[in-house]
Structure 1
Amino acid sequence: MNAVKLIGNVGREITVKEFEGGKLATFSLATNETYLNRNKEEVTSTSWHNIVAWGKLAQSCEELLSKGKLVAIEGRLNYRQYQNKEDQTVKVMEIVAVKIEEVVKKSE
């Protein structure tokens, strides 16, 4: 089973491309992990993920998401590669989203 669930902040504005068959939205997502190091100091580590959404979901991303917004994403990992202009092979790992929801923090 290829399934991914992430909660994080949108890292940059959404990029949307239109095709005959619909839309493609791409953006980055920052997730944070906090832990204590050997000196009992709290350390936060940030990981960056490339997110891809197609069709109606891409349309929703374009309308609702913006940089910094906290979201929950469900999707699958996708690995692909292509040749760049310098004829080098570029490998890409991305998350193809199937569900994206804004996360609303409860007030204390």
Structure 2
Amino acid sequence: MSLRNKATLIGRTGKEVEVVKFENGQLAKVSLATTDHYTNANGEKIEETQWHNLVFHGKLSEIAEKYVKKGDEIAVEGKIVYKSYDDKDGVKRYITEIRVDELVMVGGNKPA
């Protein structure tokens, strides 16, 4: 993996893993929430959540499919990938994904 394009994230999955199968393999997708906490200039405590689109390829997609569940806390490392496509109305849409190279299961489901 290139050190010039590297993202490291720790967060909780927002949904179940979605698997897309092809003739020669599969990929897996899941959203990941990362949350920062800080105090603003007025002394108010702020919680800010960002959502990230994760994509797993090859053997890693099989591992994600089998072990990653909604609400799991995971750590990932990967490459930031920018894509664009035209939607059904011909409007250009943009998406940012993290192409995951490493996955660590940090903890189980979020406590109830």
TM-score, normalised by the number of residues in structure 1: 0.92
Q: 2:74: which partner in 1? A: 71
Counterpart secondary structure, 1:45: strand
Partners of 1:33 and 1:13 lie apart in 2 by 23
Q: 1:47: which partner in 2? A: 50
Partners of 1:89 and 1:42 lie apart in 2 by 37
| Unaligned segments of structure 2, at least 5 residues | none
Q: What root-mean-square deviation, in Å, do the aligned CA atoms of Structure 1 and Structure 2 show?
A: 1.2
Q: 1:4: which partner in 2? A: 7
Which consecutive segments of 4 or more residues in structure 1 shift more than 6 A?
none
Q: Say how many residue pairs are matched.
A: 105
Q: 2:28: which partner in 1? A: 25
* 1:45 counterpart letter in structure 2: E
Partners of 1:39 and 1:84 lie apart in 2 by 42
Q: Does structure 1 retain, via aligned residues, the 8 Å contact 2:56–2:99? A: yes
Partners of 2:59 and 2:50 lie apart in 1 by 27
| 1:40 to partner: Cα distance | 2.2
| 1:84 to partner: Cα distance | 1.2
TM-score, normalised by the number of residues in structure 2: 0.89
| Unaligned segments of structure 1, at least 5 residues | none
